[in-house]
């Protein structure tokens, strides 16, 4: 078996005296879309923040077989992990183009402008508004911008924290369809945490279910979608 791109073992995290993750294990292999499902407060966001180095943790976190546990967030980004935080991961006062440039902050190569052009080709809306402040975009557009911003660092792994939050269903569908395209065309590996289980399971290869800081179920997305407990808890069936 190949080494996973992301390997997490025995992950524990706490905010002050409150422990939110109790020994989590999960793997993400290259070119996969993996989903972590869970209700509010299950610790989904903390999983992603732990990987990005934003919270104190114990346990093991590896990218491509190398531990990133002792690194600070800016070094973890340089190891190829991009993170779209919950809500809008954009810089509202900066223009759309500047947002993308910030995304490429860790790069020094000549291809940055090409990548920006590529991004504009896939999202013409962003091109039309490239000199406008990001804060003036609609919710869906901002989410697209946040994802594009994260992709500008040419990550090996893209972490996304509830990309569907606060967006209209149609926009979410469009957004998730784009994730699939991205995954198929560019081979972007993604770890998405979601409450919207239906759509997430549709696009994911594998999935984990997180409850009160523990992984209670894991498997192929198709099979989980058929699981009775999941259907009752997350699919409203």
Partner 1 sequence: MDLFLQRVFDAITNGSTYALIAVAMVLIFKATTLINFAQGEQAILGAFAVLQLWYWGIPMWGAVIIGMLFSAVLAAGLERVFIRKFDPADHLPLVIITLGLFLVINAIAAIVWRFDPQSFPQLFPSGNAFTYNNVRLTWYSIFAFGSCVLVLVVFQTLLTKTKIGLAFRAVSSNLESSRLSGIKIGPTLQFGWALAAAAGTLGASIYAANPVLQIEPSMMLRALIFSVSAAALGGLDSLWGALIGGLTIGFVQSVVVQYIPFIPNEMSLSAAVVVLLIVLTLRPSGVLGTKAVERV
User: According to the binding rule CB under 8 A, does residue 103 interact with partner 1?
Assistant: yes
Does 101 interact with partner 1 (rule: CB under 8 A)?
yes
Alpha helices by DSSP H, the chain: 44-51, 73-78, 96-103, 112-122, 124-128, 139-151, 169-186, 197-203, 221-226, 228-234
Pairwise CA distance, residues 139 & 107, whole Å: 28
Question: How far is the C-alpha of 92 from the C-alpha of 107, rounded, in Å?
Answer: 22
Among 21, 24, 91, 221, binds partner 1 (CB under 8 A): 91
| Residue pair 196/173 in contact by the 8 Å Cβ criterion | no
| Rounded least distance, CB 103 to partner 1, Å | 6
- CB 179, CB 203: distance < 8 Å: yes
Cβ-based nearer residue to partner 1, 151 or 197? 151
Judged by CB under 8 A, the stretch of 63-71, 72-80, 114-122, 229-237 that binds partner 1 is: 72-80
Kindly state whether residue 41 participates in binding partner 1, applying the rule CB under 8 A. no
Burial class (CB in 10 A: 0-12, 13-18, 19+), 218: middle
Q: Which of residues 151-190 bind partner 1 (CB under 8 A)?
A: 153
Q: How far is the CB of 131 from partner 1 (least distance, A)?
A: 12
Q: Does residue 82 touch partner 1 according to CB under 8 A?
A: yes
- Name the residue nearer to partner 1 (CB basis): 52 or 189: 52
Q: Which stretch binds partner 1 (CB under 8 A): 19-27, 99-107, 172-180, 212-220?
A: 99-107
**If binding is defined by CB under 8 A, does position 44 make contact with partner 1?**
no
Is the CB of 78 or the CB of 226 nearer to partner 1? 78
**CA–CA gap between residue 135 and residue 143 (Å, rounded):** 11
The residue among 3 and 74 lying less far from partner 1, judged by its C-beta, is 74
User: Under 8 Å CB-to-CB from 57, ≥6 apart: which residues?
Assistant: 11, 12, 13, 21, 50, 69
Among left, alpha and beta (phi > 0; psi -120 to 50; other), residue 212 is left
Does 83 contact partner 1 by CB under 8 A? yes
Q: Which of residues 107-146 bind partner 1 (CB under 8 A)?
A: 135, 146
Contact 151, 119 (CB under 8 A): yes
Sole binder of partner 1 in the list 87, 139, 166, 205 (CB under 8 A):
87
Q: Should residue 43 be labelled a site residue for partner 1 when binding is judged by CB under 8 A?
A: no
Phi and psi of 59, rounded to 5°?
120, -155
Q: Which residues bind partner 1 (CB under 8 A)?
A: 52, 54, 73-74, 77-78, 82-83, 85, 87, 89-94, 98, 101-103, 105-106, 135, 146, 149-150, 153
């Amino acid at each position: 078996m190949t080494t996973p791109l992301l390997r997490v073992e025995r992950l524990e995290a706490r905010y002050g005296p409150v422990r939110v993750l109790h020994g989590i294990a999960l793997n993400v292999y290259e070119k996969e879309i993996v989903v972590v499902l869970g209700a509010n407060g299950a610790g989904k966001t903390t999983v992603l923040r732990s990987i990005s180095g934003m919270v104190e943790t114990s346990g093991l976190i590896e990218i491509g077989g190398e531990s990133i546990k002792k690194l600070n967030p800016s070094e973890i980004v340089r190891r190829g992990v991009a993170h779209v935080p919950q809500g809008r991961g954009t810089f509202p006062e900066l223009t759309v183009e500047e947002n993308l440039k910030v995304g490429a902050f860790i790069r020094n190569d000549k291809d940055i402008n090409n990548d920006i052009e590529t991004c504009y080709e896939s999202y013409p809306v962003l091109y039309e508004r490239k000199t406008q402040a990001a804060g003036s975009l609609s919710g869906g557009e901002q989410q697209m911008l946040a994802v594009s911003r994260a992709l500008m660092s040419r990550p090996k792994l893209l972490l996304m924290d509830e990309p569907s939050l606060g967006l209209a269903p149609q926009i979410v569908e469009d957004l998730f369809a784009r994730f699939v395209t991205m995954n198929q065309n560019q081979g972007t590996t993604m770890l998405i945490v979601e409450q919207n289980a239906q759509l997430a399971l549709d696009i994911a290869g594998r999935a984990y279910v997180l409850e009160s800081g523990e992984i209670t179920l894991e498997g192929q997305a198709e099979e989980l979608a058929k699981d009775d407990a999941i259907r009752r808890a997350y699919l409203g069936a």
